[in-house]
Every structure is written in structure tokens, then in C-alpha cells.
Amino acid sequence: MDETVTLYRIDPRRNMQRYYRLSLAPSLYGDIALVREWGRLGRHGQQTIDLYDGQSAALNALARLAAAKRRRGYQAATD
């Protein structure tokens, strides 16, 4: 269940270097935890955890949040 999405928003003209990471992990109580981490690249960011009853609900939330960030200009890393 190692589902992780990492998005970046880098705009040198605005001095913007941000990341947003979404990952799923099982909790100790049988729930699925959606871990959201965000902040400036190279710095300690913030984190929040949302619990979901099932994996499908957590995957839907992950997809919804990733789509919202992409609409705001975040993109996956290009190799």
C-alpha cells in the first residue's frame, strides 16, 4: 500500500520553492492514514494526518487533494 505522491511548485521569479507530499499508511487501529506534508524545499515543513475507514476512501481523498494542488500549479518532478 505504499502510495505516495510528491508535487512541486517552483517559480524563481516569485522566489517560490514549495513541495506537497501525500502518502498512505496503515494506522495502529486498522484505519488508513493519509499523511499530508508541505513546506519550502530544503526546510522542515508541516504535517497533518487524516484517518479513513477504508483504502478506497483514502485513495479518493488522495486523488482529490492531488488534483486540487495540480490546479494550483503544483507538478510532479520531471527527470
Q: What is the mean pLDDT of residues 1-8?
A: 85
Q: What is the DSSP letter of 42?
A: T
Contact in structure between 44 and 28 (CB atoms under 8 Å): no
Question: What pTM did the predictor assign?
Answer: 0.88
DSSP state, residue 74: -
Q: Which of 1-15, 30-44, 60-74 has the lowest mean pLDDT?
A: 1-15
> Which DSSP string do the residues of 6-43 spell out, in sequence order?
EEEEEEGGGTEEEEEEEEEEE-TTS-EEEEEEEEETTS
Q: What is the per-residue pLDDT across 7-37, written as a single tens digit (0 to 9) for each?
A: 999 999 999 999 999 999 999 988 999 999 9
What values do phi and psi take at 4, rounded to 5?
-135, 135
Cβ(46)–Cβ(38) under 8 Å?
yes
